[in-house]
Amino acid sequence: MKKAQEEVRKVVGRKSKVEENDVNQMNYLNCVIKETLRLHPPVPLLIPRQTTSSVKLKSFDIPLKTKVFINAWAIQKDPELWEDPEEFIPERFEKNQVDVRGLDFKLIPFGIGRRGCPGISFGLVSTEYVLANLLYWFDWKLHGQDACSIDMSEMCGLTSDCVLLSSDTGQFSKANCLPTDLAYCLSFPLAKLELAS
């Protein structure tokens, strides 16, 4: 958090707001987002596919019309593909330019191929911009908890659990939301936070 915040504040400097161009220079923040999407993909099994012909994949014969689930969550934690896969290490992306948009099959939080997410750019840009603003304007701390005691385990479900900050009450609440909603939810409180600061 500290490292990302230092980068954001260094890039933005003394300007009165974070500009879109600034975000392109925030390499570490970008690594943090990639690492978060690696460890906690919002759509862990992607959207189910169905084979349009029979396929031989390695030693498996997959018949026509088989429903196929792609376990992005498991791929992104595969110890054969990732060093210390369970650890949150954004630095792993500093030297290794793994693509997050579906070109590298070991990192596919937006899915792959023709049914891949059409909102990749919007999703990434919104996340970067919102996070940059939150880190630029605010110092964050945990209340009565240390970082290690936060429960980061996923729950079973079609959508991911996320924590929303109500801009009216300042209270945190838990909600189930799809990634499509997430970008919107994240950008909504920001408008008010910016005004308040």
x/- mask, ligand HEM, residues 20-49, rule CB under 6 A, reads ----------------------xx--xx--
Q: Which residue from 88, 104, 86, 87 is spatially nearest to 96, judged by alpha carbons?
A: 104
Distance CA 143, CA 172 (A): 12
Do residues 177 and 159 lie in contact, with contact meaning Cβ atoms separated by under 8 Å?
A: yes
What is Dmax (Cα atoms) for the chain?
Answer: 61
Q: Show Cβ contacts of residue 158 under 8 Å, excluding neighbours closer than 6 positions.
A: none
From 116, 137, 167, 185, residue interacting with ligand HEM (rule: CB under 6 A)? 116
From 35, 93, 136, 179, residue interacting with ligand HEM (rule: CB under 6 A)? 179
From 90, 109, 128, 130, residue interacting with ligand HEM (rule: CB under 6 A)? 109
Q: Of 6 and 161, which CB lies nearer to ligand HEM in the complex structure?
A: 161
Query: What tokens does 167 get?
Result: 């801009």
Distance CA 185, CA 174 (A): 12
Query: What tokens does 159 get?
Result: 């959508």
Q: Of 148 and 156, which CB lies nearer to ligand HEM in the complex structure?
A: 156
From 5, 30, 76, 127, residue interacting with ligand HEM (rule: CB under 6 A)? 127
DSSP 8-state assignment for residue 157:
S
Q: Under rule CB under 6 A, how many of the chain's residues touch ligand HEM?
A: 20
Smallest distance from the beta carbon of 172 to ligand HEM, in angstroms?
A: 20
Stretch that binds ligand HEM, among 11-19, 80-88, 122-130, 153-161 (CB under 6 A): 122-130
Smallest distance from the beta carbon of 105 to ligand HEM, in angstroms?
A: 11
Do residues 90 and 146 lie in contact, with contact meaning Cβ atoms separated by under 8 Å?
A: no
Interface with ligand HEM (CB under 6 A): 42-43, 46-47, 109-112, 115-119, 122-123, 127, 179-180, 182-183
